[in-house]
A = this chain, B = another copy of it.
Amino acid sequence: MSNMNKVGIVGHGITPFSKEDQKIESVLLDSAKELFRNNSEINRDEIDAVLVSTNNNSKYLSPILSEMAGIQPKIAHTIESLCNSGTNSIVSAYSYIASGLADMILVTGAERYDSPGQILEWDNSRGEYKHPVFWASIFSKSYKRKFSISDEQLAIVSVKNHKQAKENPNALSKKTYTIEEVVNSRKLTEDLRLLDCSRPCTGSASIILASEEKAIQVTDKPIWITGIGQKTTSAGFTKNSSFSSMESTKLAGQTALKMSNKNPIDVDVAEIHDAFSVCEPMALESLGFSAEGYGMKMIEELHNTNNFKINPRGGLIGSGHPLGATGIAQTIEITQQLQGNAGKRQVDKPKTGLVHNMSAAATSSTVLVLET
């Protein structure tokens, strides 16, 4: 990797996540406008790629966003990989810069609350059980059985993340919940309650990546992407090698940490893809943050000490889950944390952060390591 250009995050903008019925083009533009308001030193003429991350069916959204935002980029296209589209777009932007094809790139993720990509038509192995709640149920049952975790314990993920989301002005959720409220919320399946689930929503997040040379021209606080790991093990979740751990996350995490010469213990703050409660302990274990079966213990301790280290913005459960925007919103949160700009969510002087973003029952995962 020694021949690569260094790539930094030099600006970001995000919208409140909501249930608003707004055209996708205008959702996209909202966070890009916010980005340019936050970063007046960034010159639109210097942006040579615009990547759009979305599951929306509209075509040619990158040229459309470019035209609306007053940018005439060289590279312009949409990237889709379900819930994992956002970090896929960031990695693609990274490679355009590291390869020398571009120096400054706008990556904008956006989704409408009624986005397609929530029902997985393609996975015939699932029969009629195509909705994500079905794999989440199997994961929950499998994880709870294997490690003797109670519903009340698992509910702490939701309690913690809703609590943390209260300090995130852009979060979809504005409420906090008790363990009892979570376990007594609407039963979706035998193993899943409504408050165990992230909710699709309308939202947008934009980020600017730049080469080292450009980065230091436009900000004195660039955040560097020092580790990247990605893995796709399958498309259909019934091919997963385990329902109580995440193989693609394990492999992506190892690759990303190795690239950045870090160990799990070096990570000060992390965004974890908690599409459902059970995903948080499973991912913590698969990433090596805790031993197998001890993810909930770690989460409980963090919750009891009011430590925002994991999912400071409230995770997907608290923030909402606008599919194509999620990975970018996660990356913005870690960027703000590392810059010391995370307000009431601020973790104590983090130097190294991690983003975990995945799709479709962790059949694919991306892990990013960010550093000051």
- Bound Cα distance from A121 to B4, whole angstroms: 40
Set of chain B residues within 8 Å of A233, measured between Cβ atoms: 72
- A98 on the B face (CB < 8 A): yes
- A218-249 interface code vs B (CB 8 A; 1 in, 0 out): 00000000001111111110010000000000
Q: Is the CB of A81 within 8 A of B62?
A: yes
- A175 on the B face (CB < 8 A): no
Q: Is the CB of B1 within 8 A of A59?
A: no
Q: Is the CB of B78 within 8 A of A80?
A: yes
Contact of A91 among B5, B75, B255 (CB under 8 A): B75
- A92 on the B face (CB < 8 A): yes
Contact of A67 among B58, B75, B239 (CB under 8 A): B239
Q: A4-B99, A77-B88 are in contact. Are A232 and B120 (CB under 8 A)?
A: no
**Which of A141-149, A282-290, A357-365 forms contacts with chain B?**
A357-365
Contact of A63 among B76, B96, B232 (CB under 8 A): B232
- A117 on the B face (CB < 8 A): yes
Interface residues in A26-70 (C-beta closer than 8 Å to B) = 50, 55, 57-60, 62-64, 66-67
Contact of A359 among B60, B82, B234 (CB under 8 A): B60
Q: Is the CB of A360 within 8 A of B79?
A: no
Shortest C-beta distance, A22 to chain B (Å), equals 15
Oligomeric state, in number of copies?
A: 2
Contact of A73 among B62, B80, B120, B232 (CB under 8 A): B232
Q: A60-B360, A99-B99, A360-B60 are in contact. Are A74 and B234 (CB under 8 A)?
A: no
Q: Is the CB of B58 within 8 A of A235?
A: no
- Bound Cα distance from A193 to B229, whole angstroms: 51
Contact of A121 among B58, B94, B122 (CB under 8 A): B58
Q: Is the CB of A74 within 8 A of B4?
A: no
- A15 on the B face (CB < 8 A): no
- A202 on the B face (CB < 8 A): no
- Bound Cα distance from A120 to B58, whole angstroms: 9
- Bound Cα distance from A116 to B59, whole angstroms: 8
Shortest C-beta distance, A51 to chain B (Å), equals 9
Interface residues in A348-372 (C-beta closer than 8 Å to B) = 359-360, 363-364
Chain A residues with a Cβ closer than 8 Å to the other chain, count = 61
Shortest C-beta distance, A236 to chain B (Å), equals 7
Q: Is the CB of A235 within 8 A of B66?
A: yes
- A169 on the B face (CB < 8 A): no
Q: Is the CB of A364 within 8 A of B232?
A: no
Write the chain B residue with the least CB distance to A79.
B77
Q: Is the CB of A66 within 8 A of B232?
A: yes
Q: Is the CB of B91 within 8 A of A95?
A: no
Set of chain B residues within 8 Å of A230, measured between Cβ atoms: 74-76
Set of chain B residues within 8 Å of A55, measured between Cβ atoms: 59
- A3 on the B face (CB < 8 A): yes
Set of chain B residues within 8 Å of A120, measured between Cβ atoms: 59-60
13 contacts between A and B (CB under 8 A): A3-B3, A59-B80, A63-B81, A64-B122, A72-B232, A74-B230, A74-B252, A75-B91, A76-B230, A77-B88, A92-B92, A95-B96, A96-B99
